[in-house]
A and B are shown apart, each in its own frame.
Chain A
Amino acid sequence: MQRDFPALALGALFVLTLVTGAASVPAVDASKSSIIVTFRQENVPVDAPFKKFNGRIDYDPAHPDAAKAELEVTTASLDLGSEEYSAEVRKKNWFDSTTYRTATFISTAIKPGALGHFDATGILTLKGKTQTVTIPVSVARAVTTTNFDGELQLSRSYFGIGDPEWNDVVDDKVRVKFHIVE
C-alpha cells in the first residue's frame, strides 16, 4: 500500500508536538509530594495523608504574579492509619466520597512576597461548599524540580465534615500541610 508521506510526516509532527507539549506542562509529582491533614481528637494531634491527588502549578520565578495553581485531591484517599477509620470518614457524615469524589483548589490571584514566598489566593471546594482562602507558600527550586510548601487551617463544620456529636472529641480546626514537588 502506498503511504502518503507528507500526511505521515504531518502526523508524526503532530504527535511529537503533543508529547513535548505534555512534557513541558508542569504536573505535580504525587510520588514526591504530600498533602497531610492534622486533626486533634481528645487533644491528640493525628497526621493523616491524602494518598491520591494531582494538579499542576505554573510558576515562573521571573513572573511569579502570573503563576497559576490547580490541585485536585481524591477525598476517599485520606489514610487514618487503619482501614476501619479510613472507611468511616468516606461516609456521608464525613467526606461523602461517593457524592463528592474530589476536593479542589484553583488559584485566582498570586501575590509575590519576599524572595521565595508568595500568597496564593484561590477557591477551595470541598463537599459541595466553597471557601476563598489565601495560603502563604514558600518556593524552593531544586536542580530539576520546584518545591512548594505551605499550610492552611480549615473548619470542619464549615464544610460539614463530621457529625456534631463528634465536636466534643475532634477539634473543629483542622490543619492541612502540603509539600508539592513539580
Chain B
Amino acid sequence: MVCPRAAAAAGAARVAIVSTVNPTVARAGYTRTAIALHWLMAALMTAGFTLGATMVDLHISPRKVRLYAYHKWIGITVLGLVLLRCCWRLLHSPPPAEPMPRWQMSAAHFTHGLLYALMTCTPVIGWLYSSASGYPVVYLKLWQLPDLVSKNDALAKVLVQVHGALAWTLFWVVLLHSAAALKHHYIDRDATLRRMLVWRRG
C-alpha cells in the first residue's frame, strides 16, 4: 500500500524538478498513485472481462467453478480500487487538460464519468447477482462478503442480464477511451496519453 502523503510529495517533487528543467515542455502529470490505479484497474478489468466472457459458455467443470471464483475476486478488487480512486481523485485535482475543442472536452468528461459509473455498478450488480443466486462471494477464498439480497431466482435472472449489459457497455466505453487516447497521442501529438505514463518521463 502506497502511503498517499509520500506519493503526493513524490509527485509534487517530480513535477517541480521537471518544471525547472524545461518549463515550456513540462506539464503536471497525474500522481503516481493515480497512474498506478489507472493501469492496475485497466489490467484487472481486461482480465475480469475476458474471464467473464469465456467462463459463462464453459460446460460445468471444476475449472469453470474456479474461473467464476477468480472473476468474482477480480470484480471485488476493482470495486475496492474504484472507491480508493474516487477518494484519491477528490483529494487531488487531475492535471489541466491539453488544449482541445470544447466538444472533445465535454466528450472526455462524459466518458470519464461513464467509466467511473460503470466501474462501480458492474461489480456491484455482479455481487447482487451472486447473492440472489444463493452463492455468496468469498473473497480470495478467505473472507465471506455479506449477501446484498437474499436468494431470489427471478431477481437473479434479471441481474445477470444487467451485469452482462453493463460489462459490454464498459467494454465499448473503454475502447472509445483508448481510441481517444491514441488519437491524442498519434494524431494531435499532445501530452494527453503521456500524462498517464509515468515511466516514460525522465
Judge whether A85 and B151 touch: CB under 8 Å.
no
- Number of chain A residues close to chain B: CB under 8 A: 18
- Number of chain B residues close to chain A: CB under 8 A: 17
The answer to whether A45 has its CB under 8 Å from any CB of chain B is: yes
Q: Which residue of A is nearest B134, CB measured?
A: A81
Q: Is the interface of A mostly helix, strand, loop or mixed?
A: mixed
The answer to whether A13 has its CB under 8 Å from any CB of chain B is: no
The answer to whether B141 has its CB under 8 Å from any CB of chain A is: yes
- How far, in angstroms, from A88 to B136 measured CA to CA in the complex? 21
From B134, B141, B156, name the one whose CB has the most chain A CB atoms within 10 angstroms: B134
From A41, A48, A168, name the one whose CB has the most chain B CB atoms within 10 angstroms: A41
Number of CB contacts from chain A to chain B under 8 A: 40
The answer to whether B66 has its CB under 8 Å from any CB of chain A is: yes
Given A169-B62, A169-B66, A81-B151 contact (CB < 8 Å): yes
The answer to whether B22 has its CB under 8 Å from any CB of chain A is: no
- How far, in angstroms, from A165 to B199 measured CA to CA in the complex? 45
- A residues contacting B by CB (< 8 A) are 41-48, 81-82, 84-85, 88, 165-166, 168-170
Closest 9 CB pairs of A and B: A169-B62, A42-B69, A43-B141, A44-B138, A81-B134, A88-B60, A43-B138, A169-B65, A81-B133
30 example contacts (A-B, Cβ-Cβ < 8 A) are as follows A42-B65, A42-B66, A42-B69, A42-B138, A42-B141, A43-B138, A43-B141, A44-B69, A44-B137, A44-B144, A45-B136, A45-B144, A46-B134, A47-B134, A81-B133, A81-B134, A81-B135, A81-B151, A81-B153, A81-B156, A82-B133, A84-B60, A85-B60, A88-B60, A165-B62, A166-B62, A169-B65, A169-B66, A170-B62, A170-B65
